[in-house]
Amino acid sequence: MKSILLNKKAISENLALMTFSREGCEKILPGQFLSIRQTAGEKILRRPFSIFGFDDKSVSVLIKAIGRGTESITDMNEGESADILCPLGKGFEEKIDYDRTLFVAGGIGIAGINSFIAKGKKAKMIFGDREGEFSAAADYFSIDCLYVSEKGKNPNRGRVTEFIDGFEFDAIIACGPKAMLRAVKEKANGRRYLAVCEEIMACGVGLCNGCAVKYDDNTFKKVCIDGPVLDGNRIIYD
C-alpha cells in the first residue's frame, strides 16, 4: 500500500522517527510490525520495523540506520512515498497488568516495546544501551524508565539484566539483541517471559522459513507470522 512520509524527525545521528500516512492499515495491536520498501531511487527489498506508534491517520517507526535498507528509508524526504505492508505479525491481545509486568528494552528494542505501553499508563521499564547512544531517544520520548548503559557518562552503569532483580514482577516483556533475550530468560527464572523477536527476515509473510526460531521441543516458530511476540522461556537462543 502506498503511504506518504508525513514527518521525519532525526533523534540522533543514525536514529530517526518516521511517520507515514496510515493507508489501509487495519486494527493495530501491541507487538505488531510493518514492512517498508521505499519506492524512489535504487530498489531495495522490504525491511521490517516494529510499529512504534500510531493514530487514526498515521503510523510511525523508529529506525536505526545500520545498512542499505534502513539508510534508503531514513534518507527519504517528507512527501515521498513508500510501499508499506501493515500490520504484520500476531498482535498481543491480552490485558497487561502494568503493576506486575517488567518491560526490558535493549537499544533499538525500545521500538518493539513502546506499543505495549498504553498512553497514560505507568510501566516498570529498564531501557539499556552500550554507551549512551540512546540517551537522546530516552529524553525525546520522555520514556519513564530506568535508563542504563554499559559504558559512558550514564551513572546507571551495567547491562539491563543486572538491574532486573531490583524490580518485583510476575512477567517480563523484552525486546533487544538475541544475547540480551537469552540473558533475560535466566532472570525470568520460570516467571512468564515474552520475547519480542527481531530475527533477520526475508519474505515477512510466512513463505520462506527465513525467520524461524527453535523451541525447546524441536518445533519451529516463524517470527513473521507466529510472532514477533514469542514465549521467551521456550526459545533456543543459539
Identify which of residues 51 and 126 has a Cβ nearer to ligand FAD in the complex. 51
Among residues 29, 136, 171, 203, which is the contact residue for ligand FES, using CB under 6 A? 203
Does residue 53 touch ligand FES according to CB under 6 A?
no
| 34 scored as a contact of ligand FES (CB under 6 A) | no
Instruction: Choose among ligand FAD, ligand FES, none what residue 193 binds, the Cβ cut-off being 5 to 8 Å by kind.
Output: none
C-alpha span between 96 and 98 (Å, rounded): 6
Distance CA 132, CA 225 (A): 33
- 39 touches ligand FES (CB under 6 A): no
Please state the closest distance from residue 226 (CB atom) to ligand FAD, in A: 12
Which DSSP category does 215 fall into?
Answer: B
Amino acid identity, position 112: G
Cβ nearer to ligand FAD, comparing 172 with 181: 181
Name the E strands within the chain.
2-12, 15-21, 33-38, 47-50, 53-54, 58-64, 81-88, 101-106, 124-129, 146-149, 171-175, 192-196, 212-214, 220-222, 229-231
Candidate segments 71-79, 121-129, 171-179, 198-206, binder of ligand FES by CB under 6 A: 198-206
Q: Binding to ligand FAD (CB under 6 A): which residues in 185-204?
A: 198-201
SS3 state of residue 173: strand
Taking a C-beta distance cutoff of 8 angstroms, is the pair 134, 148 a contact?
Answer: no
Instruction: For the CB of residue 143, give the shortest distance to ligand FES in the complex, in Å.
Output: 29
Sheet with strand 101-106: strands edge to edge: 146-149, 124-129, 101-106, 171-175, 192-196, 229-231
The x, y and z cell numbers of residue 42, run together, are 535504487
What type of residue is 154? Answer: N
Tell me the three cell numbers of residue 83: 510501499
Which of the ranges 24-32, 82-90, 166-174, 195-203 carries the binding residues for ligand FES, by CB under 6 A?
Answer: 195-203
Is residue 204 a contact residue for ligand FES (CB under 6 A)?
yes
Please, what is the minimum distance in Å from the beta carbon of residue 89 to ligand FAD? 7
Q: Does 5 bind ligand FES (CB under 6 A)?
A: no
Residue among 159 and 178 whose Cβ is closer to ligand FES = 178
- Residues lying near ligand FES in the complex (CB under 6 A) are found at 201-204, 206-211, 222, 224
Positions touching ligand FAD (CB under 6 A) are 33, 47-50, 61-64, 66-70, 108, 111-112, 198-201, 228
